[in-house]
Structure 1
């Protein structure tokens, strides 16, 4: 499952939506379109072929776990004392680990969220604005956290590029 994306052509935002929605909306006018995943700021490739042209694949064999819930089995190596403690927790080891990870993510968010926003913005910026004037200076200002300086340096850039860059930095993409 993929999240929302934003499409640009000639540095103008032309559409937003899921990959499927963008393919449906832009089919036939896909030349020169760059599509960015809002969650990462990275360029994504869309399959522009019509659904009828795509070969039907047989469903993959069923795996253990709860794939509809997004559960992916992995391995974790812990010492026996860790397993003993986890097994004593309500809900068992998996539930306890999920709770601990969620708590750590919440506690760590103020530190990691700004860096993630910078990485997201830089992915977009380098793909669409790599040859724009003052790109290198804008990159330095981005990672220095100087949003005012970044806004000044990118002022001559196309309005849609600046707006989406700001949205990626603030985390409120469409």
Structure 2
């Protein structure tokens, strides 16, 4: 797990921990047994995650497998059509280098728009998991994807404080500058 990534844990509508994976796990250990499921979210992606309790130990687990871990390179499988493979094989620096160049080019095209899109999607994932059955959920979702921060804030204002505050923090990246909820 990325040591700079942050996570937030909820027990129902109550936020019980936020911080690095290690910090969240330590807090969950202090809280002990809970009356219900604890949901842990990756703050960047909004995905629900299960944190590895071994992260609380002094040394993080060593990742084994292909790739060049010291450089941060991870090996994964990619499925492409034959014509795509043919094109990649013709590239001068090899397939991996060509793919890296394509990804870097796509990231440079409009990095701000990409960041706001990813932030909206992350906020929506968390909002669906925590507030999908709360009043005004659908309107809040519409406001989120319409980039209407005022309407979004209005729709979630009566939600439980921890959910509302966490979503407000997540959507800071989802709305254009100067249009804060």
Fold agreement, TM-score > 0.5: yes
TM-score by structure 2 length?
0.70
Q: Which runs of 5+ in 2 are unaligned?
A: 175-181
Task: Report the aligned-residue RMSD.
Answer: 3.2
> Of the two, which has the highest radius of gyration?
1
Q: Which runs of 5+ in 1 are unaligned?
A: none
**CA offset digits 1:119-166 (Å, max 9, x no partner):** 111111111111211112111221222111010111111222222112
Q: Does 1:38 align with 2:43?
A: yes
1:139 aligned to which of 132, 141, 145: 141
Deviation at 1:10, TM superposition (A): 4.3
Aligned to 1:163: 165
Q: Give the Cα separation in 1 of the matches to 2:48 and 2:68.
A: 30
When structure 1 is superposed on structure 2, of 143-152 and 105-114 the one drifting more is 105-114
**Alignment coverage as a number of residue pairs:** 160
Higher relative contact order (CA 8 A, sep 6+): 1
Q: Give the Cα separation in 2 of the matches to 1:145 and 1:123.
A: 16
**CA offset digits 1:86-105 (Å, max 9, x no partner):** 31xxxx33445423421221
Q: Does 1:128 align with 2:133?
A: no
Deviation at 1:170, TM superposition (A): 2.2
Instruction: Tell me if the contact between 1:27 and 1:48 (Cα under 8 Å) persists in the aligned partners.
Output: no
Q: Give the Cα separation in 2 of the matches to 1:43 and 1:116.
A: 15
Q: Give the Cα separation in 2 of the matches to 1:110 and 1:49.
A: 36
| Runs of 4 or more consecutive aligned structure 1 residues displaced over 6 Å after TM superposition | 49-52
